[in-house]
C-alpha cells in the first residue's frame, strides 16, 4: 500500500504545494491535504499553540492536528532560507520543533532542512533527503523533481495570469478576465501569501473584492525581476524573502501609481509585517498618496467590523475617483 | 560632532569608553524611563518589538540634549533587529530630526565601505588607536559584568536590604560624570570593593534561578522592571544566560573568525532545537537545559512581546520543564506591562520555588532516618 503523506494546507503551502504534491505522487506516495481552514482547524490550532504565536502559525497547528490520525507521514520541512542571503521568518525556521513540542503523539515528520542561505549547492542533496522517505533511488527522485518543477512553473504562470489559488486551488471560473470590471477600480492586496489566500483566515477578502467587481493584484502576480530591481534600491538588503516580495510590490505601486488603493492584510504579532507594513505604508500612502487600508487579523477578529471598514474604504476610493482625487488619502 | 547611541543595559559604559578614548564628544542618553518609552511608543509602528521603541525614545531624548550623530549596530536577519536602523532613519526623518546615523553593520562583502565608515566616524585613520580604544571598551564591559555577577551573589544574601543597590546605583550616577577609561575603571573597582564588603546574613535561604530569553530584555533593567533587584531582594540568586561581554566577544571577535564559545550550549539545545533560527532562541533553550542540569531551582524566560525567535523557544520550554522537572515562568514585557501584576507573578513563582526546596530537603531528611 502506498505511503500516505499529509501536507498541511497552511503557510508555505500556498507558494509551493504543486511542487511537493507532484514530487511525492511521482514517487508513488499518496498525498493527502488537510481540509481547507475552518472554524474547527482554527479552534484546535489556538488550543495547541503558545498564546503568543501569530494566527497563521496557529492555523498551521490546526492543520497538522487535522492530518494527524489519517496519514503515515506529515510533511513539515524546516524552511530556513530559499534564496541566497535571505531568510524566512524565525517562526518558520523553528516550525517543525514548534509543532513537535506542542502536539504530542505525532506520526513521523519530514523535517528536512531547506537552507540555501549560503548557496544552492545543497539543492540536490536536499531533494534527495526529501525523497528518501519513499525511495532510495536518486535517479527516480531527480526525475520526480523535474516533473514537479514543471507543474510548479505552470502553477506560477497561472497566478501571474490573474488567478488566485484560494485555499490552494486555482478556480478557473474565478479568473479576473472572466469577471467584468464595471467600476474600473484596481486594488493591490498586499500581505503574506498564506494570509491572503487562506479564505477562512482572511475572511474571504479576495472573494469580497471580486464580488464588488474590483480588479485585484497580489504580490505573487508581480514580475520577479522587477521586484528585485525595486528592492535593490533599498539602503540595506531586505533579508526576508516574503518581505522582499511585498516591499518590492509596494515600491512598484508607489512608482507606477496605477492602482486606486492598497489593502494590507497582516496577522497580529507578525514580526515581519511590523516592519514591512510600516515601510509599505510610508512608500504608498505617505509618499505616493495612494489610499491605504491596514487590516490586522487574529483569532478574535469579527467579520462585521472588517466588512464595514472595507466598504468605507471602497466608497472612499469611488469618491476620490469622482472628485478627481481631491479627497485625502488618509481615510 | 556630538555622538549618541541607544541604551542596552551596561553597554553605555563600554560605548562611552570607546568613544571617549577616541577623543570624540559623547552624549550618553538619559537612563531609560517611562518617559523614554512613551516618546518611543508615540513615534514607532504599533506592533514593533519593545527595544525599537526604547531606542527611538533614547534618540529623541539625546537629540534634545544636543546630539547630532547616532551610532547604531545591525545584523542581517532573520530577527527583525537587522532592519531596525532603516526604520529608525525613516521615523527620525518623519519627525524632522536632522541627524546623521552611522550604521555599523556586518560588512556584506563591502569591506572598503565598512572601514571608511569607521575611519570617518573615529576621526582617525590610525588602526592602532581604534583597536586600543576598542580593547579598553571591551575590558570595561568585562569589569562591569564581573561586578554584576558579584551583585547577583550579594543581593539575596545582604543583611540590610538595599545595601548592594546603594553602591550599585551610585556607581551608575558617578560614571556619567567622569571621562575616559582610567576614571571609569577606578570607579568600578571602588564599587566592587564596596559591594564585596556588604555584610551577609548567613541564615538566609537562597534559591537559584536561571534567567533566559531575549538579550535586550535580560540586560536592560528598565525594560524588565528591575527584575534582578526584585528577585535579589526576594532571596533569589540569578544567573543570566547572556551578557554584554559575552556578546561582544562572540559577535565581534569570534564570529568573523568562524569560531564560537557556545558549542556546549548548542549541543544542549540540539535535541530540542536543531539549528539557529535567529535572535537567541537556541541559547535560550540551550541554557535552559544547562541550568536544569546544574541543579538550578527554576527558570525564568523574559522576552519582548511578539519576539519571533523567543516564541519558538517558548513553545519548546514546557517540554524541558517536564523532562527536567524544573519550574519555568515566562514573562513577556511591552509598553503596557504593569508593575503590580509582574510583581505578583514573580512572588508567586519564588514562593513556589521555596516550598519545593523545603519539601525536597524534608523528604531527604525523612528518607535518611
The helix/strand/coil state of A28 is: coil
Residues 78-97, chain B, touching A (beta carbon < 8 A) = 78-80, 82-83, 85-87, 89-90, 94
Is residue A328's pLDDT more than 80? no
Between chains, do A49 and B315 touch, taking CB under 8 Å as contact? yes
The cell numbers describing B241, all together, are 544566560
Which of left, alpha, beta for B306 (phi over 0: left; psi -120 to 50: alpha)? left
B196 reaches A (C-beta below 8 A):
no
* A322 vs A331: CA distance, rounded Å: 16
The cell numbers describing A102, all together, are 506542542
By the 8 A CB rule, do A145 and A35 touch?
Answer: no
A277 reaches B (C-beta below 8 A):
yes
- State the smallest CA–CA distance between residue B13 and chain A in angstroms: 29
Q: How much is the mean pLDDT over chain B? A: 87
- State the smallest CA–CA distance between residue A171 and chain B in angstroms: 34
Residue B78 preceded by cis peptide, ω within 30: yes
Between chains, do B78 and A101 touch, taking CB under 8 Å as contact? no
Residue A265: other Cβ atoms inside 10 A? 25
* B196 vs B35: CA distance, rounded Å: 34
pLDDT reported for residue B107: 63
Between chains, do B312 and A90 touch, taking CB under 8 Å as contact? yes
Interface test with B, best of A96, A275, A276 (most B CBs within 10 A): A275
Mean pLDDT of A172-198: 77
Is residue B129's pLDDT more than 90? no
pLDDT reported for residue A302: 82
**Going along chain A, which residue ranges are E strands?**
4-7, 30-33, 73-75, 78-81, 108-110, 113-115, 165-166, 169-170, 186-191, 215-217, 261-267, 292-297
pLDDT top residue among B260 and B209? B209
Task: For chain A, list the domains and their CATH numbers.
Answer: 4-159 (3.40.50.11890), 163-326 (3.40.50.11900)
Between chains, do B311 and A240 touch, taking CB under 8 Å as contact? no
Mean pLDDT of B296-321: 90
Query: CA distances (Å), B327 to each of A203, B262, B346, in order?
Result: 40, 24, 12
* A46 vs A44: CA distance, rounded Å: 6
Assembly ipTM: 0.85
Contact residues, chain A, for B306 at CB < 8 Å: 52, 269-271, 274
* A311 vs A205: CA distance, rounded Å: 12
Residue B330: other Cβ atoms inside 10 A? 20
Interface test with A, best of B52, B76, B77 (most A CBs within 10 A): B77
Per-residue pLDDT of B66-94, as tens digits, reads 888 888 887 766 788 888 888 888 888 88
Query: CA distances (Å), B315 to each of A7, A57, A204, B162, B280, in order?
Result: 22, 12, 30, 36, 14
pLDDT reported for residue B77: 65
* B144 vs B128: CA distance, rounded Å: 24
Per-residue pLDDT of B328-362, as tens digits, reads 999 988 888 788 888 999 999 999 999 999 888 88
Residue of A nearest to B76 (CA): A239
Distance from the first to the final alpha carbon of chain A: 59
A268 reaches B (C-beta below 8 A):
yes
- Split at pLDDT 50, 70, 90, the class of B145 is very high
* A231 vs A237: CA distance, rounded Å: 8
Is residue B213's pLDDT more than 80? yes
* A115 vs A96: CA distance, rounded Å: 14
Q: How much is the mean pLDDT over chain A? A: 85
pLDDT reported for residue A173: 63
Least confident span in A240-254, A266-280, B243-257: B243-257
Mean pLDDT of B11-30: 89
* B80 vs A271: CA distance, rounded Å: 7
- Split at pLDDT 50, 70, 90, the class of B116 is confident
- Split at pLDDT 50, 70, 90, the class of A127 is confident
Is residue A331's pLDDT more than 60? no
pLDDT reported for residue B106: 66
* A6 vs A33: CA distance, rounded Å: 6
* A214 vs B115: CA distance, rounded Å: 52
- State the smallest CA–CA distance between residue A5 and chain B in angstroms: 23
A284 reaches B (C-beta below 8 A):
no
Is residue B263's pLDDT more than 90? no
Between chains, do B278 and A87 touch, taking CB under 8 Å as contact? yes
pLDDT reported for residue A177: 62
Rounded to the nearest angstrom, the gap between the alpha carbon of residue A299 and the centroid of all alpha carbons in its chain is 18
Mean pLDDT of A295-316: 88
Phi first, then psi: give them for residue A72, nearest 5 degrees. -90, -35
* B5 vs A197: CA distance, rounded Å: 42
Residues 248-307, chain B, touching A (beta carbon < 8 A) = 272-279, 281, 305-307
The helix/strand/coil state of A233 is: coil
The cell numbers describing B298, all together, are 527554576
Residues 6+ away with beta carbon under 8 Å from A139: none
SS (H, E, C) chain B: CEEECCCCCCHHHHHHHHHHHCCCEECCCCCCCHHHHHHHHHHCCCCCCHHHHHHHHHHHHHHHCCCCEEEEECCCCCCHHHHHHHHHHHHHHHCCCCCEEEEECCCCCCHHHHHHHHHHHHCCCCHHHHHHHHHHHHHHHHHHHHHHHHHHHHHHHECCCCHHHHHHHHHHHHHCCCCHHHHHHHHHHHHHHHHHCCCECCCCCCEEEEEEECHHHHHCCCCCCCHHHHHHHCCEEEEECCCHHHHHHHHHHHHHHCCCCCHHHHHHHCCCCCCCCCCCHHHHHHHHHHHHHCCCCEEEEEEECCCHHHHHHHHHHHHHHHHHCCCEEEEEECCCCCHHHHHHHHHHHHHHHHHHHHHHHHHHHHHHC
Interface test with A, best of B78, B103, B280, B319 (most A CBs within 10 A): B78
Per-residue pLDDT of B88-114, as tens digits, reads 888 888 888 788 888 877 666 567 777
Per-residue pLDDT of A53-106, as tens digits, reads 888 999 999 999 999 888 989 999 888 888 888 888 888 888 888 898 888 888
Rounded to the nearest angstrom, the gap between the alpha carbon of residue B115 and the centroid of all alpha carbons in its chain is 27
Between chains, do B80 and A97 touch, taking CB under 8 Å as contact? no
Is residue B20's pLDDT more than 80? yes
Task: For chain B, list the domains and their CATH numbers.
Answer: 2-125 (3.40.50), 144-205 (no CATH), 206-369 (3.40.50.11900)
- State the smallest CA–CA distance between residue A151 and chain B in angstroms: 30
pLDDT reported for residue A175: 64
Contact residues, chain B, for A268 at CB < 8 Å: 47
The pTM assigned to this predicted structure is: 0.89
Is residue A247's pLDDT more than 70? yes
Query: CA distances (Å), A304 to each of A81, A196, A203, B112, in order?
Result: 38, 18, 10, 56
pLDDT reported for residue A325: 60
Of A162, A175, A295, A169, the residue nearest A222 (C-alpha) = A162
Rounded to the nearest angstrom, the gap between the alpha carbon of residue B132 and the centroid of all alpha carbons in its chain is 24
* B306 vs B326: CA distance, rounded Å: 25
Residue A42: other Cβ atoms inside 10 A? 19
Cα angle A316, A317, A318; round to 5:
90
Amino acid at each position: 500500500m502506498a505511503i500516505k503523506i499529509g501536507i498541511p494546507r497552511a503557510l508555505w503551502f500556498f507558494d509551493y504545494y504543486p511542487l511537493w504534491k507532484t514530487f511525492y505522487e511521482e514517487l508513488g506516495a499518496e498525498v493527502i491535504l488537510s481540509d481547507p481552514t475552518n472554524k474547527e482547524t482554527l479552534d484546535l490550532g489556538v488550543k495547541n499553540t503558545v498564546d503568543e504565536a501569530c494566527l497563521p502559525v496557529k492555523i498551521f497547528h490546526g492543520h497538522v492536528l487535522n492530518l494527524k490520525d489519517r496519514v503515515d507521514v506529515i510533511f513539515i520541512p524546516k524552511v530556513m532560507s530559499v534564496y541566497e542571503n535571505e531568510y524566512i521568518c524565525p517562526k518558520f525556521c523553528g516550525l517543525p520543533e514548534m509543532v513537535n513540542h506542542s502536539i504530542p503523539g505525532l506520526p513521523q515528520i519530514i523535517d528536512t532542512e531547506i537552507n540555501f542561505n549560503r548557496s544552492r549547492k545543497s539543492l540536490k542533496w536536499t531533494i534527495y533527503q526529501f525523497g528518501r522517505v519513499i525511495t532510495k533511488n536518486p535517479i527516480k527522485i531527480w526525475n520526480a523533481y523535474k516533473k514537479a518543477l514543471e507543474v510548479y512553473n505552470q502553477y506560477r504562470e497561472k497566478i501571474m495570469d490573474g488567478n488566485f489559488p484560494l485555499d490552494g486551488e486555482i478556480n478557473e471560473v474565478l479568473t479576473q478576465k472572466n469577471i467584468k470590471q464595471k467600476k474600473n477600480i484596481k486594488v493591490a492586496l498586499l500581505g503574506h501569501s498564506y494570509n491572503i489566500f487562506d479564505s477562512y483566515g482572511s475572511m474571504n477578502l479576495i472573494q469580497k473584492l471580486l464580488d464588488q467587481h474590483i480588479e485585484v493584484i497580489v504580490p505573487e502576480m508581480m514580475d520577479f525581476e522587477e521586484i528585485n530591481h525595486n528592492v535593490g534600491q533599498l539602503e540595506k538588503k531586505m533579508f526576508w524573502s516574503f518581505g522582499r516580495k511585498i516591499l518590492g510590490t509596494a515600491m512598484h505601486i508607489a512608482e507606477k501609481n496605477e492602482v486606486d488603493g492598497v489593502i494590507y492584510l497582516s496577522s497580529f504579532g507578525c514580526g515581519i509585517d511590523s516592519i514591512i507594513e510600516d515601510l509599505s505604508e510610508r512608500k504608498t500612502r505617505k509618499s505616493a498618496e495612494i489610499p491605504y487600508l491596514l487590516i490586522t487579523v487574529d483569532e478574535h477578529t469579527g467579520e462585521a467590523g472588517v466588512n464595514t471598514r472595507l466598504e468605507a474604504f471602497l466608497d472612499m476610493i469611488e469618491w476620490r475617483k469622482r472628485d478627481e482625487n481631491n479627497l485625502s488619502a488618509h481615510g | 560632532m556630538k555622538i549618541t547611541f541607544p541604551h542596552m543595559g551596561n553597554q553605555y559604559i563600554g560605548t562611552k569608553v570607546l568613544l571617549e578614548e577616541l577623543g570624540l564628544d559623547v552624549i550618553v542618553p538619559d537612563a531609560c524611563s517611562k518617559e523614554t518609552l512613551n516618546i518611543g511608543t508615540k513615534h514607532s509602528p504599533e506592533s514593533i518589538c519593545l527595544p525599537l521603541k526604547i531606542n527611538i525614545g533614547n534618540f529623541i531624548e539625546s537629540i534634545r540634549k544636543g546630539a547630532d550623530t547616532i551610532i547604531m549596530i545591525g545584523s542581517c536577519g532573520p530577527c527583525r533587529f537587522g532592519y531596525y536602523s532603516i526604520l529608525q532613519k525613516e521615523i527620525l526623518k518623519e519627525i524632522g530630526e536632522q541627524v546623521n546615523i552611522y550604521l555599523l553593520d556586518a560588512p556584506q562583502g563591502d569591506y572598503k565601505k565598512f572601514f571608511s565608515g569607521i575611519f570617518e566616524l573615529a576621526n582617525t585613520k590610525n588602526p592602532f588607536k581604534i583597536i586600543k580604544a576598542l580593547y579598553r571598551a571591551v575590558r570595561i564591559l568585562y569589569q562591569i559584568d564581573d561586578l554584576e555577577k558579584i551583585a547577583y551573589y550579594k543581593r539575596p544574601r545582604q543583611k540590610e536590604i538595599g545595601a548592594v543597590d546603594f553602591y550599585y546605583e551610585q556607581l551608575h550616577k558617578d560614571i556619567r560624570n567622569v571621562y575616559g577609561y582610567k576614571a571609569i575603571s577606578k570607579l568600578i573597582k571602588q564599587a566592587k570593593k564596596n559591594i564585596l564588603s556588604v555584610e551577609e546574613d548567613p541564615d538566609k535561604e537562597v534559591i537559584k534561578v536561571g534567567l533566559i530569553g531575549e538579550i535586550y530584555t535580560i540586560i536592560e533593567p528598565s525594560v524588565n522592571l528591575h527584575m534582578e533587584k526584585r528577585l535579589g531582594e526576594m532571596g533569589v540568586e540569578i544567573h543570566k544566560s547572556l551578557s554584554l561581554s559575552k556578546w561582544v566577544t562572540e559577535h565581534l571577535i569570534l564570529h568573523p573568525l568562524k569560531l564560537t564559545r557556545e558549542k556546549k550550549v548548542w549541543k544542549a539545545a540540539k535535541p530540542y532545537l536543531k539549528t539557529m533560527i535567529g535572535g537567541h532562541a537556541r541559547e535560550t533553550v540551550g541554557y535552559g537545559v544547562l541550568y536544569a542540569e546544574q541543579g538550578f531551582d527554576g527558570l525564568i524566560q523574559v522576552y519582548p512581546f511578539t519576539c519571533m525567535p523567543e516564541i519558538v523557544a517558548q513553545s519548546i520550554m514546557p517540554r524541558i520543564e517536564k523532562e527536567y522537572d524544573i519550574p519555568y515562568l515566562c514573562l513577556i514585557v511591552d509598553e503596557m506591562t504593569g508593575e503590580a501584576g509582574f510583581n505578583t507573578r514573580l512572588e508567586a513563582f519564588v514562593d513556589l520555588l521555596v516550598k519545593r526546596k523545603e519539601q525536597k530537603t524534608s523528604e531527604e531528611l525523612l528518607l535518611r532516618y
